[in-house]
Amino acid sequence: MTGLPPGRTPGRYAVALVCLGNICRSPMADVVLSARIAEAGLDDRVSVESCGTGDWHVGGRMDHRAAATLTTAGYDASRHRAQQLDGSWADRFDVLLAMDESNLAGIRSATSAVGGAGKRMMLFRAFDPVDPGGEVPDPYYGGDTGFEEVLAMVERTTDAIVAALVVELALELGHADDRGSDRS
């Protein structure tokens, strides 16, 4: 199973989801991952945010087709407001998951990633249990079925990410216990 990079600090494990416009793919992944984390009772151990490498939609709501696809599937798409990636994201997040290769390149250039920070940047679909390592195709210029395909990819990949988060959080607890026993 693909693993997540170790958490950098003892606080909540911070996940960033990154696409181009932050109105279609990464907001859909943000809503689904946040819902699954809440269902797993991990709200106080994991935080999730999304952003885009572009600035066109900053402050705006999700694309109406992305929101409709999520709403039909029972999710709340109303709270999203688009944000743009900047250099601070590499410092603030334990992992940055890019929807496609060009988003991954965008993260690297916006954050000037070198050394350790580069290892915290991965393709979101590295965790896809059906077809790992591919891209989440951009549905912005296509029809409604593109959004349904994105949701199916996002849901199955998110389940695997939550499983990886459970493993990572258990490892962190183990390390904290080790530190505790060192002190005794």
Q: x/- string (CB under 6 A) for ligand 4NP, residues 23-62?
A: xxx--------------------------x---x------
- Nearest-approach distance from CB 89 to ligand 4NP, in angstroms: 16
H or E element, residue 14: strand 13-19
What residues numbered 94-153 form the site for ligand 4NP, per CB under 6 A? 138, 140
Q: What is the DSSP string of 46-113?
A: EEEEEEESS-TTTTPPPPHHHHHHHHHTT---TT----B--THHHHH-SEEEESSHHHHHHHHHHHT-
Q: Is 51 annotated as catalytic?
A: no
Gap between the Cα atoms of 24 and 114, Å rounded: 29
Q: Which stretch binds ligand 4NP (CB under 6 A): 16-24, 71-79, 114-122, 155-163?
A: 16-24
Residue 78 interacts with ligand 4NP (CB under 6 A): yes or no:
no
Does position 85 interact with ligand 4NP (CB under 6 A)? The reply is: no
Q: Do residues 125 and 153 touch, judged by C-beta distance below 8 A?
A: yes
Between CA 141 and CA 20 the distance in angstroms is: 13
Q: Least separation, in Å, of the C-beta of 155 and ligand 4NP? A: 16
Out of 19, 45, 63, 94, which one is annotated catalytic? 19
Dihedral sign computed on CA atoms, order 116, 120, 123, 127? positive
Q: Which of 13, 15, 22, 37 binds ligand 4NP (CB under 6 A)?
A: 22
Task: Tell me whether residue 30 is one of the annotated catalytic residues.
Answer: no
- φ, ψ for residue 62, nearest 5 deg: -65, 150
List interacting residues with ligand 4NP (CB under 6 A): 19-25, 52, 56, 138, 140
Active site members: 19, 25, 138
